[in-house]
Structure 1
Amino acid sequence: MVRFSKGEVRDILISMVVIAGVFAYVFSGRNLQVALIRLPATLVTVGLGFVLHEIAHKLMAIRYGFWAEYRLWLEGLVLALVTSYFGFVFAAPGAVYIHGNYIDRDVNGKISIAGPLTNIMLALIFLMASSVLPSPFRDVAVLGYAVNSFLALFNLIPIAVLDGAKVFRWNPLIWLIAAASAFALTFNSMF
Structure 2
Amino acid sequence: MAPKRPHDSENGPGGRAGASEKKSKGFSVGPANLPDGTYRRKTQKIKSDLIQKAKVKKAYAKIKAQEVASGKPKSVYDKYQEEDGANKDEDEEKSTELHPSRVAMLNKPPQSPEPAPRPERRPRDNEAKRKERKPRPSAFSKEMEIAEQRKKAAEARRKEREAKQKEREDMTRAKRPDQFGKRRLGRESTALLSRVQRMVG
Same fold (TM over 0.5): no
Greater Rg over alpha carbons, structure: 2
TM-score (norm 1): 0.19
Give the structure with the higher percent helix: 1
Greater per-residue strand proportion = 1
